[in-house]
Amino acid sequence: MTQEEMWRAVIKNDESYDGIFFYSVKSTGIYCRPSCKSKTPKRENVCFFDTAEEARNAGFRPCKRCRSDLMEYHPMKEIAAKAKQLLDSCFDEKRELKQGLRQLGISHRRMSEIFKDEYGITLHEYIKSRRLEEAIRMLIDTDEDIIDIAYAVGFGGPSSFYSFFKSETGMPPLSYRKEHRK
């Protein structure tokens, strides 16, 4: 790969070159990935390296923006994983769930976008699937009353639970329990 090709990748912030080479900026003393979104440096201040280690050995420090010292740095993936972990632990507790998502420091709308990009479904769809999984598990594995299951999986009352369950499985909870119990 020529230096001109690498320079074009830097100008375009081309992610496909990440890990193939690194560039450093003499005036700042840092090294970056080709995809770094920081201000494009002057060409005469740029040096290219095959590895991050070569850049460090030449006296450059990693960029704090693109985290050139980490091969796998995906902050959106980390945020989505934290949200998923939160959804798994408190999908049945609306107040706690809202508070937990708020503590991640991202608007609900942006969180929904990040989650969908990472997992292919919305936050709402994921919560629905978790509630359904847990309701099915409880119907099959426990003797709890349907109303108790409805509250346990996060519904405010039995009618909304019945409607939800029937629309998702095609049968009411009691029929499902009778048909699928071992």
Backbone angles phi and psi of 42, in degrees to 5:
-70, 140
32 is catalytic: yes
In terms of Cβ atoms closer than 10 Å to its own Cβ (0-12, 13-18, 19+), residue 114 is buried
**Active-site residue among 32, 36, 63, 66?**
32
Q: How many CB atoms lie within 10 A of CB 177?
A: 18
**Could you give the CA distance from residue 88 to residue 111 in angstroms, rounded to a whole number?**
15
**Rounded Cα gap, residues 164 and 162, in angstroms:** 6
Q: How many helices (H) and strands (E) does the chain have?
A: 9, 4
Q: Give yes or no for a contact between 49 and 22, defined as CB atoms under 8 angstroms apart.
A: yes
The whole-angstrom distance between residue 83's C-alpha and the CA centroid of its chain comes to 7
Distances (CA, A) of 36 to 40, 68, 148: 9, 9, 52
Encoded tokens for 71? 């091969």
Active site residues: 32
